[in-house]
Amino acid sequence: MSFRISVLGTGYLGTTHAAGMAELGYDVLGLDVDADKVARLARGEVPFHEPGLAELVRTHTRSGRLRFTTDFAAAAAFADVHFLAVGTPQSADGEAADLSHLRAAVDALAPHLERPCVVVGKSTVPVGTAAELAGRLAGLAPAGRAVELAWNPEFLREGHAVADTLAPDRIVVGAASELAEKVLREVYGDLLERGVPFLATDLATAELVKVAANSFLATKVSFVNAMAEVCEAAGADVTVLARAIGLDERIGPRFLRAGVGFGGGCLPKDVRAFRARARELGGDSAAALLGEVDRINLRARERVLALARRALGGVLAGRRIAVLGAAFKPDTDDVRDSPALDVAAAAARAGARVTVYDPAAGRSGAAARPELAFADSLEAAARGADLVLLLTEWAEFRTADPRRLAALVAAPVLVDGRNALDRAAWTAAGWTVHAPGRPAPRS
Ligand code: UGA
């Protein structure tokens, strides 16, 4: 059977999922309450930077397989499978997740669900949310219990979202009924045929898998940043340490890059929301662990700023700093909870004259931090700088010619806040290179 699919919420997750489902051959209707966004997407325009996504959206809006609407009744009438992909940001008044958008989407859709269908949660939620939504659906939908609920967490990474959607490393489905699980096995049939592992479980486990995965990744980053603190104190080198422990297959090399720490719209808020939920459930060890992960991460930002201050001889005020990077990581223009912007803003608050350059996040960065100056090229940012501070490891920075940049700056002093550059090459080009967790350069 060929299902018709709706995707509620057209942010990073929803837009990518909707386009991915169209690519897998389904007729898809994306829904958002933001009429402007819907109009842009319907014209094939993606309002954020994600490699390959604009092409996919354009292809399928042209073919007619992918359409967008603001109308919940239309989505209910159209689709057999409704994916919930609305945001669950951190609450304004605490660490817990704000579920108001998710509840609002379910409350708006449910009264129109008149025939059997499956509602599939993809949003990241505190464990127990799916059970609550199941009750809401059963109470509000005219089709009652014929509306099935499943939870199918999403593991896509920004910057790799299209590939992660079309070739995921696993599909996890929590379902209360065999029917819901069977429908999702069919929906993802092509991927399963290609050998993608499918894990069927209950709703609570599926919800937890997602926050546990993100928390583990965050823990790895904070672990290596804690090691960086010790390495600095001991005069050791965290990059060699990370490489050496990462060669142990049980540890693995990824997410062991020490630096300014993790940011973005997912890891920081998921760690906090999971911590809040674990505490509610009496999971004190998990809550304590995640609290420490968060603290180490925020300290990593302060430590990179302190390193910049040291590199400038102890004073930031009045000094010109070229900040390379605004996005929370390369290949995205997302600046949500970006360590780069945080450190740049803190340097400016301390009196430094900061100029930021980012290959894609200049506009989003300037909107988030209007007090900062942005340049539109690496050269323009570097010209006359007393310090170059790398905070997002874009390929443009990793492949930049250190000799050419040395000729532009006032002083060839670099803080590599991501341990991403070739220290030997930059040193050979005349730069004094400082980096978190590595021995101070010889003066
Ligand atoms: C993360 C997860 O990796 C995805 O699996 C998940 O689906 C997604 O959150 C989500 O919940 O939607 P993403 O936020 O795109 O994806 O970013 P990551 O690639 O995980 O990077 C997170 C942060 O960790 C970035 O700021 C990155 O710079 C930082 N990081 C990563 C380090 O500081 N060091 C490392 O070694 C690796």
Average pLDDT over residues 415-442: 96
**Cα 208 to middle of ligand 1, angstroms:** 18
pLDDT tens, position by position, 113-153: 999 999 999 999 999 999 999 999 999 999 999 999 999 99
Dihedral pair phi/psi, residue 388, rounded to 5° = -105, 125
pLDDT, position 231? 98
The pLDDT of residue 1 is: 57
Q: Is 255 in the pocket of ligand 1 (CB under 6 A)?
A: yes
pLDDT tens profile 296-343:
999 999 999 999 999 999 999 999 999 999 999 999 999 999 999 999
Closest C-alpha residue for ligand 1 atom 36? 255
Q: What is the mean pLDDT of residues 399-414?
A: 98
Residue 392 Cα distances to 120, 155, 396, 417, 421, angstroms: 35, 22, 10, 8, 11
pLDDT (0 to 100) of residue 2: 83
How far is 321 from 375, CA to CA, in rounded Å? 12
Per-residue pLDDT tens for 235-286? Answer: 999 999 999 999 999 999 999 999 999 999 999 999 999 999 999 999 999 9
* Ligand 1 contacts CB of residue 50 (under 6 A): no
H helices of 49-128, where? 53-63, 72-78, 100-109
Q: Ligand 1: which of 172, 208, 221 to mutate, judged by most atoms within 8 Å of the beta carbon?
A: 221
Nearest Cα residue to 85 out of 135, 131, 35, 19: 19
Flag whether pLDDT at 419 surpasses 60: yes
Q: Which atom of ligand 1 is nearest to the CA of 328?
A: 26
**Which residues form the catalytic set?**
266
pTM: 0.96
Residue 441's pLDDT is: 86
Residue 443: per-residue pLDDT: 65
Q: Which token pair is 208? A: 């937890």
Instruction: Tell me the chain's radius of gyration from C-alpha atoms.
Output: 23
Cα separation, 357 vs 417, whole angstroms: 15
What confidence tier does 161 reach under pLDDT thresholds 50, 70, 90?
A: very high
Q: What is the spatial distance between Cα 41 and Cα 22, in angstroms, rounded to a whole number?
A: 14
Query: What average pLDDT does range 347-372 have in this prediction?
Result: 98
* Ligand 1 proximity of 412 Cβ (cutoff 6 Å): no
State whether the beta carbon of 12 lies less than 6 angstroms from ligand 1.
no
Domains and CATH numbers, the chain: 4-201 (3.40.50.720), 214-434 (3.40.50.720)
pLDDT band at 442 (very low <50, low <70, confident <90, very high): confident
Annotated binding site for substrate: 155-158, 210, 255-259, 263, 329
- Residue 57: predicted pLDDT: 97
Q: How many Cβ atoms are within 10 Å of 34's Cβ, its own excluded? A: 14
pLDDT band (50, 70, 90) for residue 60: very high
Query: What values do phi and psi take at 436, rounded to 5?
Result: -60, 135
How far apart CA 382 and CA 311 sit, in angstroms, is: 16
Across the range 20-31, mean pLDDT stands at 97
Ligand 1: does its nearest atom lie under 6 Å from the Cβ of 257? yes
The whole-angstrom separation of Cα 443 and Cα 433 is 10
Could you tell me if 282 and 243 are in contact, meaning their C-beta atoms sit under 8 angstroms apart? Answer: no
**pLDDT attached to residue 301:** 98
